[in-house]
Amino acid sequence: MALLDILIFPDARLRRVAEPVKQVDDSTRQLIDDMLETMYAAPGIGLAAIQVNVPKRVIVIDVSEDRSNPLCLINPEILAREGEEEMEEGCLSVPGFAETVKRAERVRVQALNPDGERIELETDGLLAVCIQHEIDHLDGRLFVDHISSLKRQRIRKRLEKEQRAPQPATSAAQRKAI
């Protein structure tokens, strides 16, 4: 197991389109283990491989209260979307910011599991939002692409400045007050 570094917006590597996994093997499962460890440590409710600089179509998610229900999806595809829902989203690659994003309320998804078997699930609520957020990452999109360009530029400038001269972390509550 290993903790992986998470790329931070506006890093250009987050804009790559991730490649499908051709064969689910031990190296895929090792990546998943490391991603889960990194997600739980962060802590976050999801993580896409591209966020740890691996441009493959692999995501991990755990939206359970007690962090005991990991979901790993390889080559995930949305088969159907229904309805609309707005939710406040954050992202480990956009630390300290949260904005409301409109997405489908319900999705049906197919993917491979870590054993390489095809699975299908239909879900709504936070899990559906998280799956859409993670699949966005695999296509080089971030939640900030769903908000106004004014807000996006503001977030980009702050994070650029922070990465030039690392400063004490600013909490989300502090940022809202700025």
Name which of residues 90 to 109 contact Ni ion (CB under 5 A). 91
Residue 133 CB, shortest distance to Ni ion, in Å, is 6
Residue 70 CB, shortest distance to ligand GNR, in Å, is 14
Structure tokens at 67: 């962090």
90 binds, among Ni ion, ligand GNR, none (CB under 5 to 8 A by kind): ligand GNR
Cα–Cα dist 28/118, whole Å? 15
Burial status of residue 106 (CB atoms within 10 A of its CB: 0-12, 13-18, 19 or more): middle
Position among 14, 24, 48, 131 found at the interface with ligand GNR (CB under 6 A): 48
Burial status of residue 146 (CB atoms within 10 A of its CB: 0-12, 13-18, 19 or more): middle
Position among 4, 35, 47, 155 found at the interface with ligand GNR (CB under 6 A): 47
Contacts with Ni ion by CB under 5 A: the residue count is: 1
Position among 45, 72, 135, 159 found at the interface with ligand GNR (CB under 6 A): 45
Cα–Cα dist 102/90, whole Å? 13
Cα–Cα dist 136/76, whole Å? 11
- The partner residues of 172 in beta bridges, in order of sequence, read none
44 binds, among Ni ion, ligand GNR, none (CB under 5 to 8 A by kind): ligand GNR
Active site residue 88: no
Interface with ligand GNR (CB under 6 A): 44-48, 51, 89-93, 129-130, 133-134, 137
**Residues noted as catalytic:** 134
